[in-house]
């Protein structure tokens, strides 16, 4: 127990929204709360607030990432095609030709 106390004493104070979360939890009503409609409205407002915090990509980033996804998909498709073709040659044509004579 004594070993843990210095570590706890050296911890930093809460930063940013950590305090707000603790305050929200402390102020949350214990019973009765808003009805279903109130909860939906609260959820909608919180969702809008969070969406405003999002950093959305610009058109250049979208184009670059889309091209990257397309190129990567084509590359993986090519690898699957080559492996499939090689296994087909080996298993369908190669092994039976050994036993035919």
What pLDDT, in 10s, does the model give residues 22-44? 445 555 554 445 689 999 999 99
Helix, strand, coil fractions of the chain, as percent rounded to 5: 75, 0, 25
Domain boundaries, the chain: 15-54, 56-101
pTM for the model: 0.48
| pLDDT, averaged across the chain | 79
Spatial CB neighbours of 33, under 8 Å, sequence gap ≥ 6? 39
Residue 2 tokens read as 């004594």
- For a pLDDT cut of 70, what percent of the chain falls above it? 65
| 89 pLDDT higher than 60 | yes
Q: Report whether 49 contacts 41 (CB < 8 A).
A: no
| 33-73: pLDDT as tens digits | 568 999 999 999 999 999 999 999 999 999 999 999 999 99
pLDDT of residue 63: 97
């Amino acid at each position: 127990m004594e070993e843990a106390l210095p570590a706890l004493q050296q911890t930093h104070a809460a930063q940013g929204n950590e305090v707000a979360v603790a305050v929200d939890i402390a102020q949350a009503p214990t019973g009765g709360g808003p009805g279903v409609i109130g909860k939906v409205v609260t959820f909608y407002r919180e969702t809008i607030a969070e969406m405003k915090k999002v950093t959305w990509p610009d058109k250049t980033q979208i184009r670059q990432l889309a091209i990257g996804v397309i190129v990567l998909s084509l590359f993986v498709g090519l690898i699957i095609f080559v492996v499939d073709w090689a296994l087909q040659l080996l298993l369908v044509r190669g092994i039976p030709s050994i036993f035919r004579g």
